[in-house]
Amino acid sequence: MREFRLQRLLRTVRSVIAFVQPRLSASIKNGNVIVEGRFVVTPTLAEHTSDGAIAEFSILVVLASSYPNIEPRVSAPGNNIPQTPAHHMNDDGSCCVVIWEEWLATNEDNSIQAYFDGPLKNYFLGQHIKLATGNWPFGERNHGKEGILDAFAEILDCARNEKKIEYLLRILSKDWPRGHWICPCKSGQIIRKCCVVDLKTLSEKIPSKIAQKMLSRLRSYILK
Ligand SMILES: [Zn+2]
Ligand SMILES: [Zn+2]
């Protein structure tokens, strides 16, 4: 089953890179699909031609067979990108391409094609501009916990309060929250008598699977 999924993922990746990233190649290694080579940055989506290239980065992307359940691990060795938060580089040397849960929660299309054309392309365009000008473009989120809190407050449409966000995510992580729990709006009422409609709308927008991922992401930062 896993082998079948891997082969299917490999075919998908190959068909995506064949058209937009011909200097990358894909293969199966250690139970993952590995994409490696030169990632070509073009200024706009329309310019997927060699003439449109403004920069190239050597990259290594590890895609799990359960994509998009597991965030791809991206690294970019040998490009002289400083290993700093300002460059959206993680402590373990991997690239902070996007806040994965935010991308899952706010984009309908989470295909490989959408990932390469969206987050991955924007990230390396960002690196190119940062290296050239010293500024990260797109008014991007801060790296690390601050950026996570900004993003999650926006997705949940709630106050940017760590405790509040955590409680809300705990509720949304359940398939359906219990009506007798204390309402996250802190009215002191139980959910059933308070924000039950708002919470139902929110749980339709953010499935429990994504809420669980958001919660564990948030907790990994709180523990630091
Ligand atoms: Zn970052
Ligand atoms: Zn309430």
Question: Ligand nearest 168 Cα, by number?
Answer: 2
Measured in angstroms, how far is the CA atom of residue 59 from the centroid of ligand 1?
A: 17
Does pLDDT of 4 surpass 70?
yes
Handedness of CA 141, 146, 152, 155 (dihedral sign): negative
Does pLDDT of 67 surpass 60?
yes
Q: How confident is the model at residue 224 (pLDDT cuts 50, 70, 90)?
A: low
Measured in angstroms, how far is the CA atom of residue 149 from the centroid of ligand 1?
A: 12
Measured in angstroms, how far is the CA atom of residue 93 from the centroid of ligand 1?
A: 12
Residue ranges near ligand 1 (ion) with Cβ within 5 Å: 88, 96, 143
Per DSSP, the three-state class of 206 is coil
pLDDT the model gives residue 177 = 64
Question: Ligand nearest 192 Cα, by number?
Answer: 2
Of 45-54, 56-65, 77-86, 166-175, the range with the highest mean pLDDT is 56-65
pLDDT the model gives residue 178 = 75
Does pLDDT of 51 surpass 70?
no
2-133 has CATH 3.10.110.10 classification: yes
Measured in angstroms, how far is the CA atom of residue 159 from the centroid of ligand 2?
A: 13
As a whole number of angstroms, the distance between CA 114 and CA 219 comes to: 28
Measured in angstroms, how far is the CA atom of residue 50 from the centroid of ligand 1?
A: 29
pLDDT the model gives residue 32 = 97
pLDDT the model gives residue 78 = 85
Does pLDDT of 50 surpass 80?
no
pLDDT tens digits, one per residue of 124-151: 999 999 999 998 887 678 898 999 999 9
Question: Ligand nearest 94 Cα, by number?
Answer: 1
As a whole number of angstroms, the distance between CA 93 and CA 73 comes to: 10
Cα 2 to Cα 10, 53, 72, 174: the distances in Å are: 12, 36, 17, 27
Q: Which residues of 21-45 are buried (b: 16+ CB within 10 A; e: fewer)?
A: beebebeeeeebbbbbbebbbbeee
Measured in angstroms, how far is the CA atom of residue 127 from the centroid of ligand 2?
A: 42
**How many residues in total does the chain contain?**
224
Residue ranges near ligand 2 (ion) with Cβ within 5 Å: 183, 185, 187, 194-195
Mean pLDDT of the residues in the chain: 89
pLDDT tens digits, one per residue of 32-49: 999 999 999 987 655 445
Measured in angstroms, how far is the CA atom of residue 28 from the centroid of ligand 2?
A: 49
As a whole number of angstroms, the distance between CA 41 and CA 4 comes to: 32
Q: Average of pLDDT values for 204-220?
A: 92
Does pLDDT of 12 surpass 90?
yes
pLDDT the model gives residue 103 = 94
- The helix or strand, by DSSP H or E, that contains position 64, with its residue range, turns out to be strand 55-64
**Spatial contact of 24 and 13, defined as CB atoms under 8 Å apart:** no
Report the percent of the chain where pLDDT is more than 90.
63
Q: Which two tokens stand for residue 22?
A: 């011909």
Cα 36 to Cα 33, 73, 75, 90, 182: the distances in Å are: 10, 12, 10, 19, 49
Cα 8 to Cα 19, 35, 66, 69, 219: the distances in Å are: 18, 15, 11, 15, 33
pLDDT tens digits, one per residue of 89-130: 998 999 999 999 999 999 999 999 999 999 999 999 999 999
Measured in angstroms, how far is the CA atom of residue 5 from the centroid of ligand 1?
A: 30
More confident residue, 20 or 208: 208
pLDDT tens digits, one per residue of 154-180: 999 999 999 999 999 999 998 766 788
Give the global pTM: 0.86
Measured in angstroms, how far is the CA atom of residue 126 from the centroid of ligand 1?
A: 11
As a whole number of angstroms, the distance between CA 129 and CA 123 comes to: 10
Phi then psi for 111, rounded to 5 degrees?
-70, 165
Domain ranges within the chain, ordered by starting residue: 2-133, 145-222
